[in-house]
Amino acid sequence: MTRQLTAHIDTTRTPLVSKIAEIVEREFFERGGLVLSEASDAVDLTLTIRPGIGLEGFSITATGAGIRITGNDERGLLYGVGKYLRGCTFGEDANSFCHCTWTGVSVPKRPVRGMYFASHFHNFYHDAPVEQVTRYVEELALWGCNALAVWFDMHHYNGINDPAAQAMIQRLRAILSAANSVGIGAALTTLGNEGYANSPTELRADWTAGHDGYFAPPGGHYHVELCPSKPGGLELILKCREEMLAAFADLDIEYVWNWPYDQGGCTCSDCAPWGANGFLKIAPPYAALIHRMLPRAKVILSTWYFDHFIAGEWEGFAQALGNAKPDFADYILADDYGDHFPEYPLLHGVPGDLPMLNFPEISMYNMYPWGGYGANPLPLHLQSIWDACGKALSGGFPYSEGIYEDLNKAINLQHCWGDIDATDTVREYASGVGSPELAEDITTAVLLMERNHTHRLVDLPNQQELRDQLFPEDGGELACVFIKHIADPGAAFQCDEIMQVIERRLTRPAQASWRWRVLRLRAAIDAEIARTGGRMTVALDAMLEELVGIYHAQNAEAQVCPHSRRSILRLVAE
């Protein structure tokens, strides 16, 4: 039997307020079988807006038997609803529902709480049904996410009219429209000297090293990028940009990124050092174009991989920008892959005296395939990086390859929201996925998972041997060892035991949710690897296949595909 609860929307029903009401109704029904109906007095839940709390902030207060969620503005109301929903108890029996017990006021400290979805390699963002991606975007907003970046990666296509380019534009537009509908500003990732696959060879950028100070070739260069120092190069860059921005111009684009390397860059004598020279030949006219076409958009100038291939880029870039805010950038983005934030802006201040954003790695760190074993929670790792750079930041855009690092997204969004400790965010996440009373046990399990974070594949044998080992004709044991043994088998067994106990205490909707499944599978997969030393088993194969299904990774490339038997054979055959 379903139970009725009453809600009162005590504010103008703008499209976003209606969307918020829809999300609350959906969560109540899906997680607790509760039907929310509207009333105006003696209500269980009141949603309202009252400025004065602080930009994008909210308050949650008890009102007799009910709860009132007040947003400073529409976004604040949405984030308050997110906080509330994660604290509610949804029992198996609808009568066991309890409101979130957290009350108080919360206002974000940092203005930019973004996310970057990499939509490639047939990962979730690339291949999942678009309704699932848009639903996911809505759920991210509940954590305070207010900006979402995607990249129309030109090098795949022969011009903007290439049918494949148009298909990608349509998909990215759907994702960004979903973001806009839930109060998330859209952001476009672009490379400074980006080029199409059929860019004119005579205008292409140099990527060689060993001259002009370059001690290494730029990582991840596509070799179709354009050189802005060659006659006609800058003009072509801007022409392609104008077409591309026009394809997104009717959306609410809040940010456009201008990115130097990985991919991108030109190592020619006239552009060297790229970050302090060629890249800055593009930045002012490109920013002027952005301001003309997307008047609301702010420009984020990235410094990614400065000083990785040539020395002195940070210094030269800082000199070029000076101490006054330049008119071609509103934010500086800085970060590095792995364990450290770049030292330069922490020691010398941010060039141009601009606010700084980060680009934390939450997807690929020390695990291959990425997401290949289920969830990859990294609370202690992400906390240590945040401790080093958080106070210098105005927000950031974590790099995301899929939904398996959903918990890492929450950690970063809450770091940006209010320097909230990563373990506290794990607890709040666990409360939302399981229930408040299971939050502590799930947190214990997550911390055990992180102790076994590093996962690697071993070198695989040839196709025929693989087939014999993975599908033995005698029906005997599978022989193939394909994962390196994990570091702490004791922690893996303990984690799996805790998760088994938790699972029995979850409601059926919680047990079936993908957020629980990716955590549960990670624990069980680690325990199975610990038991067998990394050998494929029928049980392990079934768990990896379930992950393939959750990620829609049936056609995924190796780095984003769980290596079930079927996936391994497909990938070695390709």
Please choose, out of 3-11, 101-109, 262-270, 370-378, the segment that lies near Zn ion by the rule CB under 5 A: 262-270
Taking the least distance from each CB to Zn ion, the nearer of 199 and 229 is 229
Least separation in angstroms between CB 239 and Zn ion:
18
Contact 446, 377 (CB under 8 A): yes
Residue 305 beta carbon to Zn ion: minimum distance, rounded to whole angstroms: 17
Please report, for residues 192, 227, 228, the alpha-carbon distance to residue 206 in angstroms, rounded to integers and kept in the order given: 14, 7, 11
Nearer to Zn ion, 192 or 369 (CB): 192
Site for Zn ion contains 266 (CB under 5 A): yes
Region of 170-178, 258-266, 381-389, 521-529 interacting with Zn ion (CB under 5 A): 258-266
**Which residue, 268 or 334, has its beta carbon nearer to Zn ion?**
268
Residues 6+ apart with CB under 8 A from 426: 377, 379, 407, 411, 442, 443, 446, 447
Q: Which of 119, 146, 229, 408 binds Zn ion (CB under 5 A)?
A: 229
The three-state secondary structure class of 160 is coil
Comparing CB distances to Zn ion, the nearer of 227 and 448 is 227
Distances (CA, A) of 115 to 179, 350, 384, 400, 481: 11, 22, 20, 7, 36
315 phi and psi, to 5 degrees?
-65, -45
SS3 content of the chain, % helix, strand, coil (to 5): 45, 15, 40
- Binds Zn ion (CB under 5 A): choice among 112, 149, 175, 227: 227
Contact 203, 232 (CB under 8 A): yes
Smallest gap from Cβ 228 to Zn ion, in A, equals 6
Among 78, 271, 470, 544, binds Zn ion (CB under 5 A): 271
Candidates 176, 268, 470, 556; binder of Zn ion (CB under 5 A) is 268
Q: Report yes or no: 115 and 149 within 8 Å, Cβ to Cβ.
A: yes
> Is 204 or 515 the residue whose CB approaches Zn ion more closely?
204
Q: Provide the minimum distance between the beta carbon of 332 and Zn ion in the complex, in angstroms, as a whole number.
A: 23
Nearer residue to Zn ion within complex by CB, 187 or 266: 266
> Based on CB atoms, which residue is closest to Zn ion, 271 or 420?
271
Q: Is 203 in the site for Zn ion (CB under 5 A)?
A: no
Binding span for Zn ion by CB under 5 A among 143-151, 252-260, 264-272, 319-327: 264-272
Q: Which amino acid is at 301?
A: L
Is residue 208 a contact partner of residue 274, using CB atoms and an 8 Å limit? no
Q: Which stretch binds Zn ion (CB under 5 A): 152-160, 269-277, 358-366, 463-471?
A: 269-277
Residue for token digits 């190069």? 233
Scan residues 93-152 and list those touching Zn ion (CB under 5 A): none
Q: Dihedral through CA 264, CA 270, CA 274, CA 275, nearest 10?
A: -130
Instruction: Give every CB contact of residue 348 below 8 A, 6+ residues apart in sequence.
Output: 314, 318
How many residues sit close enough to Zn ion to count as binding (CB under 5 A)? 5
Binding site for Zn ion (CB under 5 A): 227, 229, 266, 268, 271
